[in-house]
Every structure is written in C-alpha cells, then in structure tokens.
C-alpha cells in the first residue's frame, strides 16, 4: 500500500451528498415535527391551581424545549459544514496525487478547518469532539 492519504472520492462524494440531503430534509423534518408538537407551549399543569413548583417545572420544561430546538439547528449547521467539505475533498482530489505531502496536508487542513467550524456551530471548543 502506498504512503499517503487514500481517498475513495466517489464514496466521499456520495457521503457528502447524502449528508447534505439529510441536512436539508432530515433535520428540517425532525425540527418541524418538534416545533409542531410544542407550538402551543408547555401544556402540563394548565388545569391545576398555579403553584411555585408547577410554575418552575413549566419554566424548566420550556427552557429544555428551547435548548433541544437550538441543538437541532446547530447539528444541522454542523452536518452542512461537514458535508460541504466532504464534497469539496472529493471534487478537488478526484484526480490528484494523494501520495504527495502537499495533498495530504491540504486534506488534513480542510478536515481540521471543517471540524473547528462544526464544533463552533455545536458550541464546543475547537479541540472538542
């Protein structure tokens, strides 16, 4: 096996396209269903005499829903970033000599940059996974 990066550009491109489709369709569908389920707000406790405990529970539940929806949007953004770089790698290196040190560094740099950007979208620090 030769030294260097071995890339099945067709496979990487298929992966990128599939992830891009999930980014547009899959995450949007899930987020839409979640929004539909919670559009009316927090319903539990509405037929009870208001109490501090119920009011606090409703506030925490509403906050959890907001965080879940924000996470879905962040995951959608991160998936879009990673799918874009996968498609770019497949396109850029379809006919390149991937055994060269320069090509290896370029692929590594593209992946690292995408991971940093995806981690930021997820609210993680640069080195976190």
pLDDT 10s digits, 54-64: 888 888 888 88
Contacts of residue 3, defined as CB under 8 A and 6 or more positions apart, other chains included, come to 99
Percent of the chain beyond pLDDT 70?
83
Domain presence at residue 127: no
Q: What is residue 126's predicted lDDT score, i.e. its pLDDT?
A: 53
Q: What is residue 129's predicted lDDT score, i.e. its pLDDT?
A: 47
Closest CA to 27 of 59, 86, 68, 66: 68
At 1, the pLDDT band (50, 70, 90 cuts) reads: very low
Q: pTM of the predicted model, to two decimals?
A: 0.62
Domain presence at residue 129: no
What is the average pLDDT across 65-86? 84
Lowest mean pLDDT among 22-31, 52-61, 74-83: 22-31
Tokens 């396109």 sit on residue: 91
Q: How many domains does the chain have?
A: 1
Q: What is residue 12's predicted lDDT score, i.e. its pLDDT?
A: 76
Higher-pLDDT residue of 73 and 9 is: 73
Query: Could you list the residue range(s) of the whole structural domain that residue 75 is in?
Result: 9-121
Domain presence at residue 3: no
Domain presence at residue 14: yes
Domain presence at residue 126: no
Q: What would you report as the CA-atom Rg of the chain, rounded to the nearest whole angstrom?
A: 21
pLDDT score of 19 more than 70: yes
At 125, the pLDDT band (50, 70, 90 cuts) reads: low
What is the average pLDDT across 37-66? 78
Domain presence at residue 30: yes
Domain presence at residue 111: yes
Domain presence at residue 2: no
At 22, the pLDDT band (50, 70, 90 cuts) reads: confident
């Amino acid at each position: 096996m030769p030294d260097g990066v071995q890339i099945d550009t067709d496979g990487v491109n298929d992966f990128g396209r599939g992830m891009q489709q999930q980014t547009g369709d899959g995450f949007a569908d899930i987020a839409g269903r979640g929004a539909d389920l919670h559009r009316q707000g927090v319903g539990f406790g509405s037929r009870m005499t208001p109490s501090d405990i119920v009011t606090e529970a409703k506030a925490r539940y509403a906050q959890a829903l907001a965080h879940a929806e924000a996470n879905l949007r962040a995951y959608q953004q991160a998936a879009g970033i990673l799918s874009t770089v996968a498609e770019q790698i497949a396109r850029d290196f379809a006919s390149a000599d991937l055994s060269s040190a320069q090509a290896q560094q370029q692929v590594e740099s593209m992946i690292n940059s995408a991971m940093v950007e995806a981690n930021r979208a997820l609210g993680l620090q640069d080195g976190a996974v």
